[in-house]
Chains A and B, each alone.
Chain A
Amino acid sequence: MALSAAGLELEVVGREITGRPVPGRTHRSYGSYLLGLPALVLTSLLLVPMLVTTIEAFWTPDGFGVANFAVLGEPAVLLAIGHTIAWIGVAIALVALALGIALAGHRVTSLWSFLQPALIVPFAVSALVSGAAFRIIFDPAPERGTISAIFGDGAVWLGPGLFWVVLVSAFSWTWLGFAVALFRAGLDSIPDDLIRTVNAEGLRGWRRLRAVELPILRPISGIVTLILVVATVRLFDLVLIAVPDPMQDDADVLTLRWWRVTNATDDHGRPAVLALVLFVIVAVVALTGMRGLRRSWAMPSSAVPPATQRPRARVRPIRRRLGLSMAVSLSVIWLFPAAVLIITAFHDPNAAGLRGWWSSDGLGLGSFVAASNAGLWQALFSTVLVAGLAAVLVLVISVPTAYVLAWGGLPQWLGKAAITVFVLLAVTPLPMYAEPLRAAFTSLGISGSRMSLALVHAAAGLPFGVLLLRAAFASASPSLVSEALLGQLRQSEVINQVRQTYRPVLVAVAILEFVLVWNDFVVGFLIVGPGSTPLSLVMWGEARQFATSAGTVAAAAVVSSIVPVVLLWRFWPTVVRGLTVGTKP
């Protein structure tokens, strides 16, 4: 048999079964399917409300129809859709920028060792915190805002048009480091023999980038683009806190518009249409980028020689010094918003409201006291409980589910369908399920309970955990699974072994889920309501009078950021390793 492929005719042969026929009966085991049951129960928490929203979008007083879709013609909605699409463009530009930085860091190693810690901090803090920091920096009053003080009265940074600069820089500040780190991990995992071949052939510059680095980074680029696009489409709290009230309508994105329409009417149909449109946009992006989440051409571990530490290429001193100074200045710029936030927090609320962070008047712990009076400590306790519970739930449920998907012997169509559903669930925007869930929780009388908040978080975080773990299990060494396939090991023992071997992925899933829940504002705000009092809701309550409570908000932001920053800083290498296990070339 011959297969023509890319200019070559390849002789491909199938395989016969030889030798004596093996006695035994056809055996099908459905027991392993049960491992996926908990995930099914938990995800139905999203699936059922999504179904309800879809039906509502098509439901009019006269029966089923598309009358609700007229909402898409409203100017405000069109503007929001346009903004959302523009944000997707921002996400893609950020991916390109991150790739550039990662490549530069890969060639000048000293740049990286300095830059990395600085890049992690913004990713660890919540959108509310970064929004607050940038709002303080770009405050239009020159006596308070850093940028206004530097550039004088010329531009109103938080005014019409210019608030986009603030928003985009705040967003980039949060996500750039994360994207760079993932690309960087991808570049680090280029097999040694490939590098040797490339060096031997003298490939340099663009040719090397096109022939070696870009193809290898393809799966990771898929994931990074997907994550960033989903982040832009889900944009909600950053706009809410960073843009002053009068300009909010100009900065509208689809999620916000959905929220406003929901609040403005009792009609379920129109907001449902907006949610559906949002979902369709994300779904298209996700399904296109899904190839990145599939392992594309991983070598089995036995085929790859064990990685040996490559001697670092000697860098010329001038280049080294240049890299170092660039890294130091970049890190300083990158850490600046965090520093502003911390210094503002150590001013009294009055001083913080009147003067800039650089003024030495009113230094003290007054803002922390004010934040404490606003319920900071109880919120902190509440958040620890909810985030911990959600992380544990996600871990406990996603491990068996991912195992079934990777090695459970599901029929091919079922495995593919399940993975597609998980990809879609991983990117589903909140409006798709928020309203029906909120209504259900209210009628059950459990809205505001920590348990329901943790459950919703776990359901929302489960798909990503499952996908990540599946990719990791799928690249498991064949010998590990072989014993299980031979029936010498029980499934539970295999799961146990897998858990030990794939610790980085487990750590990544647990830490990311914990940090995401910790930093969440939207789920607590839109679904569960204020009763569960997570940290972000307290901050949001204070931030509504931003001019007077900048100090309190900064103090709350600093306190609430300590745990995620420390966690991510401590486990960063493991998290990155875990995130890229399934995409290793």
Chain B
Amino acid sequence: MSGHEPRWRRYLLWIGTIASFILSNLAFDTLKSFQPGRWVGGAEYLVVAALAAFWLMIYAPSGWQGFQRWRRALPNEREPSPLPPRLAELQRYAQQAEHWLVALGSDSRGMAAAGWFEQAEPELRRLLFSTDVEPESVDQLAWICDALEARYVRQRRADDLLELSERLATIGEQAGRRDLEELAAVRAATAFRLRGDLDAATLRLGVASNLAPPGPSAAAMRTRRALERSLLQLARADRYSPGADRADAVLNARDRLDDAGRAVPRADLAADVAIHLNRAVVCLYQHDTDTALDHLRLAEARASASRDSSAYAHALELHGVAAWLQGNPGQAVLWWQQAQRRYADVEEREGAARCLQHLGSAALSTGEGVAALALLEESAKLRGGTQGHEVLERYLAEARSQVSEGAGPPAEDTTGPRRIGRIGPLGRLRRVWHRFVA
């Protein structure tokens, strides 16, 4: 609230407090003239003390924060020494990285950001791994880490992410910054989870919890730890076959998301979106599509508020999954098509490939082998192959065999999606027949 508090309200409180002091003083003076006695004086002190306590409660926190800001800013203001050239280059890149990090995945400049990162990534990595850790360079190095991390997570590059988190851990250790070490541990957990090493991920999260220094970002870090724990639980649920263990893991994931929801700072819109999206995922695992849609609605609202096209596309994609679960395959296809376009707009290949995979598998289920194969091959192309994508691999093989069998008569499946793409000769015959019957 304090961040968004309008200025006039602070003044109003000042004026109100001073006015209360004056008015109470006047009132007690008047009272004293009527009824001179000790209790009036005592009451006056009491009221003044209460007012002062109230005043302190309101202003002390912001005053203390202001003082700390002033103290931190002091040395820089006192001696604005020119930066040495190597640090100047680092600073320039760090600032640019931060600038483009904000744009990454946004609807207006998402594509440009992806392009910039594509070009600048080697240089950023060189700077990150070659620059010595000194008090002047720590923040800049951390910025570069932040920017690269966002890119690697989007592209699901687990190994690069792990390397990055190790570098950040070193930086934090050398600079004595426990907050950076904590951040590095959480990122390492994400990397291990993406690699499928869930035990190592759990271990890193434990390390992060042990570090957890107090500070202005403590709440955001608490949120991240809880969110990563919930994703870990979902990954665990995936390893179990349907049953009590799986249901337990999903429930655990939901509890961790509740923790994250309680911890999230108000200004952290991206975290809020992520929490809602993950809640929707948990609900989808529980086949509770109605609640999933409620969360997706909130996620969409927040994503569009923060112009986060990537998160918006993610919500659309999950919307499609919910529609499929509800038995509305036609709608599901529409949602996935939209999501795929959005992902493509922000150059998020992994997301677009996922949507193409959904669309391809949906087409496959209605016996449209040719259309399915095209979609699935496009998906594989975007991912640079099928390695590590078992579902895609399986569907591709299925599509190929369906096509090579000459696309036999499609199964009469009323639960399957409404068809998209071209209609084969048999389909045309069927259509003529139905027209004739109707």
Q: In the assembled complex, which residues on chain B have CB atoms less than 8 Å from the CB atom of A18?
A: 146, 149-150, 153-154, 270
* CB atoms of B273 and A15 under 8 A apart: yes
Q: In the assembled complex, which residues on chain B have CB atoms less than 8 Å from the CB atom of A318?
A: none
A275 to B306, CA, bound (A): 51
* CB atoms of B220 and A24 under 8 A apart: yes
* CB atoms of A479 and B323 under 8 A apart: no
Q: In the assembled complex, which residues on chain A have CB atoms less than 8 Å from the CB atom of B281?
A: 1, 12-14
Q: In the assembled complex, which residues on chain B have CB atoms less than 8 Å from the CB atom of A295?
A: 293, 297
Is the C-beta of A2 less than 8 angstroms from some C-beta in chain B?
A: yes
A479 to B239, CA, bound (A): 39
Q: In the assembled complex, which residues on chain B have CB atoms less than 8 Å from the CB atom of A16?
A: 153, 190, 227-228, 231, 274
A-B contact count (CB 8 A): 205
Query: Which of A11, A202, A303 has a CB less than 8 Å from the CB of B434?
Result: A202
Q: In the assembled complex, which residues on chain A have CB atoms less than 8 Å from the CB atom of B392?
A: 11
Q: In the assembled complex, which residues on chain B have CB atoms less than 8 Å from the CB atom of A211?
A: 414, 418
Which stretch (B38-46, B197-205, B354-362) binds chain A? B354-362
Is the C-beta of B209 less than 8 angstroms from some C-beta in chain A?
A: no
A295 to B273, CA, bound (A): 20
- If A14-B234, A485-B305 touch, whether A21 touches B311 (CB-CB below 8 Å) is no
Q: In the assembled complex, which residues on chain A have CB atoms less than 8 Å from the CB atom of B322?
A: 297
A10 to B364, CA, bound (A): 13
Is the C-beta of B83 less than 8 angstroms from some C-beta in chain A?
A: no
Is the C-beta of A8 less than 8 angstroms from some C-beta in chain B?
A: yes
User: Could you tell me the distance in whole angstroms from the C-beta of B326 to the nearest C-beta in chain A?
Assistant: 6
* CB atoms of A3 and B284 under 8 A apart: yes
Is the C-beta of B271 less than 8 angstroms from some C-beta in chain A?
A: yes
Q: Report the nearest A residue to B338, measured CB to CB.
A: A303
Is the C-beta of A74 less than 8 angstroms from some C-beta in chain B?
A: no
Query: Which of B154, B223, B294, B305 has a CB less than 8 Å from the CB of A17?
Result: B223
* CB atoms of B263 and A201 under 8 A apart: no
Query: Which of A6, A14, A22 has a CB less than 8 Å from the CB of B278?
Result: A14
A15 to B147, CA, bound (A): 17
A7 to B364, CA, bound (A): 11
Q: Report the nearest A residue to B411, measured CB to CB.
A: A7
Q: In the assembled complex, which residues on chain B have CB atoms less than 8 Å from the CB atom of A207?
A: 434
Query: Which of A12, A27, A296, A474 has a CB less than 8 Å from the CB of B321?
Result: A12
A76 to B285, CA, bound (A): 50
Is the C-beta of A314 less than 8 angstroms from some C-beta in chain B?
A: no
Q: In the assembled complex, which residues on chain B have CB atoms less than 8 Å from the CB atom of A482?
A: 301-302, 304-306
Which applies to chain B's interface (DSSP): helix, strand, loop or mixed? Answer: helix
* CB atoms of B362 and A8 under 8 A apart: yes
User: Could you tell me the distance in whole angstroms from the C-beta of A407 to the nearest C-beta in chain B?
Assistant: 8
Binary interface profile of A, 4-38, with partner B (CB < 8 Å = 1, else 0)? 01111111111111111111111101000000000
Q: Report the nearest B residue to A23, measured CB to CB.
A: B216
Query: Which of A10, A11, A26 has a CB less than 8 Å from the CB of B262?
Result: A26
Which stretch (B20-28, B121-129, B327-335) binds chain A? B327-335
Q: In the assembled complex, which residues on chain A have CB atoms less than 8 Å from the CB atom of B132?
A: none
Is the C-beta of B373 less than 8 angstroms from some C-beta in chain A?
A: no
Binary interface profile of B, 275-313, with partner A (CB < 8 Å = 1, else 0)? 001100100110001110110010011111110000100
A26 to B423, CA, bound (A): 55
Q: In the assembled complex, which residues on chain B have CB atoms less than 8 Å from the CB atom of A27?
A: 1, 265-266
* CB atoms of A302 and B304 under 8 A apart: yes
* CB atoms of B431 and A201 under 8 A apart: yes
Binary interface profile of B, 323-348, with partner A (CB < 8 Å = 1, else 0)? 11111111100110010000000000
* CB atoms of A26 and B321 under 8 A apart: no
A7 to B324, CA, bound (A): 10
Is the C-beta of A487 less than 8 angstroms from some C-beta in chain B?
A: yes
A124 to B330, CA, bound (A): 39
Q: In the assembled complex, which residues on chain A have CB atoms less than 8 Å from the CB atom of B147?
A: 19
* CB atoms of B270 and A3 under 8 A apart: no
Is the C-beta of B399 less than 8 angstroms from some C-beta in chain A?
A: no
Query: Which of A17, A25, A197 has a CB less than 8 Å from the CB of B224?
Result: A17
Q: In the assembled complex, which residues on chain A have CB atoms less than 8 Å from the CB atom of B361?
A: 8-10
User: Could you tell me the distance in whole angstroms from the C-beta of A35 to the nearest C-beta in chain B?
Assistant: 17
Q: Which of B395-428 touch A at CB < 8 Å?
A: 395, 413-416, 418-419, 423
* CB atoms of B358 and A10 under 8 A apart: yes
A274 to B425, CA, bound (A): 65
Q: In the assembled complex, which residues on chain B have CB atoms less than 8 Å from the CB atom of A204?
A: 434-435, 437-438
- If A19-B270, A205-B438, A211-B414 touch, whether A14 touches B231 (CB-CB below 8 Å) is yes
Binary interface profile of A, 400-426, with partner B (CB < 8 Å = 1, else 0)? 000000000000100000000000000
Is the C-beta of A193 less than 8 angstroms from some C-beta in chain B?
A: yes
* CB atoms of B435 and A24 under 8 A apart: no
Is the C-beta of B62 less than 8 angstroms from some C-beta in chain A?
A: no
A197 to B101, CA, bound (A): 40
Q: In the assembled complex, which residues on chain A have CB atoms less than 8 Å from the CB atom of B419?
A: 201
A9 to B271, CA, bound (A): 28
User: Could you tell me the distance in whole angstroms from the C-beta of A31 to the nearest C-beta in chain B?
Assistant: 9
* CB atoms of A202 and B183 under 8 A apart: no
User: Could you tell me the distance in whole angstroms from the C-beta of A21 to the nearest C-beta in chain B?
Assistant: 4
Is the C-beta of A486 less than 8 angstroms from some C-beta in chain B?
A: yes
* CB atoms of B220 and A15 under 8 A apart: no
Is the C-beta of B370 less than 8 angstroms from some C-beta in chain A?
A: no
Q: In the assembled complex, which residues on chain A have CB atoms less than 8 Å from the CB atom of B271?
A: 17, 22
Is the C-beta of A300 less than 8 angstroms from some C-beta in chain B?
A: yes
Binary interface profile of A, 264-296, with partner B (CB < 8 Å = 1, else 0)? 000000000000000000000000000100111
Q: In the assembled complex, which residues on chain A have CB atoms less than 8 Å from the CB atom of B418?
A: 197-198, 201, 211
* CB atoms of A23 and B217 under 8 A apart: yes
Is the C-beta of A194 less than 8 angstroms from some C-beta in chain B?
A: yes
* CB atoms of B326 and A22 under 8 A apart: no
* CB atoms of B290 and A19 under 8 A apart: no
* CB atoms of B301 and A485 under 8 A apart: yes
Q: Report the nearest A residue to B182, measured CB to CB.
A: A21
Q: Which of B195-254 touch A at CB < 8 Å?
A: 216-217, 219-221, 223-224, 227-228, 230-231, 234-235, 237-238
- If A1-B234, A26-B219, A205-B438 touch, whether A13 touches B354 (CB-CB below 8 Å) is yes
Is the C-beta of B318 less than 8 angstroms from some C-beta in chain A?
A: yes
Is the C-beta of A483 less than 8 angstroms from some C-beta in chain B?
A: yes
Q: In the assembled complex, which residues on chain B have CB atoms less than 8 Å from the CB atom of A300?
A: 297, 300
Is the C-beta of B267 less than 8 angstroms from some C-beta in chain A?
A: yes
Is the C-beta of B114 less than 8 angstroms from some C-beta in chain A?
A: no
A109 to B237, CA, bound (A): 53
Is the C-beta of B75 less than 8 angstroms from some C-beta in chain A?
A: no
- If A21-B221, A204-B434 touch, whether A478 touches B305 (CB-CB below 8 Å) is yes
- If A19-B101, A27-B265, A193-B334 touch, whether A5 touches B325 (CB-CB below 8 Å) is yes
Q: In the assembled complex, which residues on chain B have CB atoms less than 8 Å from the CB atom of A194?
A: 330
User: Could you tell me the distance in whole angstroms from the C-beta of B193 to the nearest C-beta in chain A?
Assistant: 9
A472 to B88, CA, bound (A): 55
Is the C-beta of A215 less than 8 angstroms from some C-beta in chain B?
A: yes
A207 to B435, CA, bound (A): 12
- If A14-B234, A15-B314, A291-B290 touch, whether A21 touches B183 (CB-CB below 8 Å) is yes
A-B contact pairs, 5 of them (CB 8 A): A5-B321, A22-B268, A197-B418, A205-B437, A482-B305
Give A contacts to B, CB under 8 Å: 1-3, 5-27, 29, 193-194, 197-198, 201-205, 207, 210-211, 215, 291, 294-298, 300, 302-303, 412, 474, 478-479, 481-483, 485-488
- 3 smallest CB-CB distances across A and B, nearest first, come from A482-B305, A24-B265, A204-B438
**With contacts A21-B224, A203-B434 known, what are 7 further pairs, Cβ within 8 A?**
A12-B284, A23-B216, A23-B267, A26-B262, A27-B265, A193-B334, A487-B4
